[in-house]
Chains A and B, each alone.
Chain A
Amino acid sequence: MNERTLLRDNVADIAAYFAAGGWRPLKKALSMGRAAVIAEVTASGLRGRGGAGFPTGRKWSFVPQDAQGPRYLVCNADEGEPGAFKDRELLRRNPQAVLEGMAIAGYAIGASLGYIYIRGEFSAEAEFLTAAITAARAKGFLGANILGSGFDFDIHLHRGAGAYICGEETALLSSIEGLRGQPRLKPPFPAVKGLFGAPTVVNNAETLAAVPSILERGAAWYASTGSPDSPGTKLFCVSGAVNRPGVYELPLGVPFRELLETHCGGMKDGRKLKAVLPGGASSPALTAAEAMAVNMDYASLAAAGSMLGSGAVIVIEEGRCMVELLGVLARFYRHESCGQCAPCREGCAWADKLLAGLEAGRGRPSDVETLRSCAAAMTGRTICPLADSLALPALSFISKFRAEFDAHAAGRTCRAAGGGRLA
């Protein structure tokens, strides 16, 4: 399977999607029974594409079989991680696959209602998706008694209003409930006590879009591509200093070198690679040498000391100041911290202040060590991973590009910018 199943051409319209075989996987799923659907998705090895990489079939299986009352299926399309722009592309090009994946997942977990949480800024995509839902309802693929099966499932869109934290699944659920988007302690996990207190599964839009093809062609087919621990294809969004930035659907395990050189046309203007954030703004940086040796899958990136994350690949060229870039990340996380955990609220603010000072040439020699200890004190101490999302890149930047930080702290030169004096 070296073909694209997510970013297919000319399937944005429901008639074209149906003509290409769409919505038959749902029919097949309805005839298989819930347990068999979950078993098939589990066997495919599909893992969550939002960042955590948790096995999708297992996540579905955590919904208690005997739970009374409603259950909910939520599609996370709150794409907000700096560097990520895949869901926007997916929703534009293949919205029906997301809806069909939701219907199949809803059937598997026994839900009759699903919500799509889409980030507030994606207003054009929200309109497009609303039309896609209406079209699917009109064809009888959503609504009551779907395809005469007795299965009811409908989908509503819930638009965010500008808060990165709502991409975290429990914050997302709070946001749907009409509260501030603040993450909740786990356990209880959403599968047991989620939206409106009911068993809930939250899956990333890209994860759900992969489900119809797994049902259609089977787990073995799906698992035949990618790498053993990371089957299937993934949407890689490449930004930064490359000739052809964009979203690329490729088998997991593709070497970074191939992604950069073959698909993205190499480094922009022939510049030299300096560093890569392989899994978005929250992933530890890889040096050029590390990046050029790594394969883009969950296990390989973890072994290299980073992570696949959401598949947002940020390419940094030689000459770019790492202190400045880390400052941009710190400013982001400071702004997006929900504020309920002190290590995150205070840590992000401290890191931002220290980095702003270093960048402006107002730093002190001790600032680098202060920054490092601040980042170290932020890891693993909070309800959600937002604090770690700044701390881990910060620790990697400092350890791999220490000379730049020390130079800034000494107020001397910004070596990366070519040895020029700081302003």
Chain B
Amino acid sequence: MAYFDEEFLAKAEKVCARYPRRGAALLPLLGQVQKEKGFIPEEAMDELAAFLGVPRSRVSAVAGFYTMLRGSPAGKYHIQTCRGIACHMAGGPALSAALARKLGIEEGGTTPDGLFTISSVECLGACGSAPALLVNGRYFENMDEAALDALLDDLRHGRLERR
């Protein structure tokens, strides 16, 4: 195991202990890799397959199935706007368009400085406080253009954690 360090492997053993079969720890461990690295590198999949004793092809198949697991890194801040029906009715498309305009990039794109990636996601389950978006997995709800401006300003100043 050249890719994972001792600390990760120790944590991974604890995750495995929650299940009667080691292979069941695959999704939580992929989630942990995503959280730590920002995407799922090939080397991580190689070592997870060996560590869990599951076929390498299964690791790829699982990593490719779930939308929160990325194949490549995103910008420092990954903004995901909800395109579910409730957000759609509450102005979601206009919010997404405003976001793309303000950052000068298209959906799926990353700003040249690597600060922002934008994409849309299916229903986030925040339909009572629509429209909603995620920034690095954190919910921001009841959004409008003014709130979006304030959010982008904070992010440009590195203030996600203080919001």
Contact = CB atoms under 8 A, between A and B. Distances in A.
B86 A82 contact: yes
A156 B16 CA distance: 11
A237 interface: yes
B162 interface: no
B20 A196 contact: yes
B62 A121 contact: no
A316 interface: yes
A82 B123 contact: yes
Contacts of A84: 125, 127
A160 interface: yes
B65 A80 contact: no
Contacts of A325: 85, 88-89
B7 to A, nearest CB: 19
Contacts of A181: 65-66
Interface string B1-39: 000000000000000001111011111101100100000
A281 B66 contact: no
Interface in B43-76: 52, 54, 58, 61-62, 65-69
Given A162-B68, A246-B128, A178 B89 contact: no
Contacts of B65: 163, 180-181, 338
A237 B128 contact: yes
A161 interface: yes
Given A161-B31, A162-B66, A181-B65, A329 B125 contact: no
Contacts of B34: 161
A246 to B, nearest CB: 5
Interface string A70-88: 1000000001111111011
Given A85-B127, A161-B31, A180-B62, A320 B89 contact: yes
Contacts of A163: 65-67
B137 A123 contact: yes
B126 interface: yes
Interface string B116-147: 00000111111111100010011100000000
Given A82-B123, A161-B30, A240 B86 contact: yes
Contact of B66 (A158, A161, A332): A161
B62 A239 contact: no
B124 A83 contact: no
B129 A164 contact: no
Contact of B27 (A88, A175, A239, A329): A175
Nearest to B15: A156
B26 A332 contact: no
Interface in B80-119: 83-86, 88-89
Contacts of B69: 161-162
Contact of A179 (B58, B129, B137): B58
Contact of B28 (A81, A158, A281, A316): A158
A124 B135 CA distance: 13
A373 to B, nearest CB: 24
A33 to B, nearest CB: 27
A247 B128 CA distance: 8
A32 interface: no
Contacts of A79: 125
Contact of B24 (A177, A277, A314, A335): A177
B125 A178 contact: no
Contacts of B52: 178
B125 A88 contact: yes
Contacts of A160: 27, 66
B45 to A, nearest CB: 13
21 contacts: A80-B125, A81-B123, A82-B85, A83-B84, A83-B85, A83-B86, A88-B125, A121-B68, A123-B138, A161-B67, A164-B122, A178-B54, A178-B58, A196-B20, A196-B21, A239-B86, A245-B129, A281-B84, A281-B85, A325-B88, A328-B83
Interface of B: 18-21, 23-28, 30-31, 34, 52, 54, 58, 61-62, 65-69, 83-86, 88-89, 121-130, 134, 137-139
Q: Which 5 A-B pairs have the closest CB atoms?
A: A161-B66, A239-B127, A162-B68, A178-B26, A162-B67
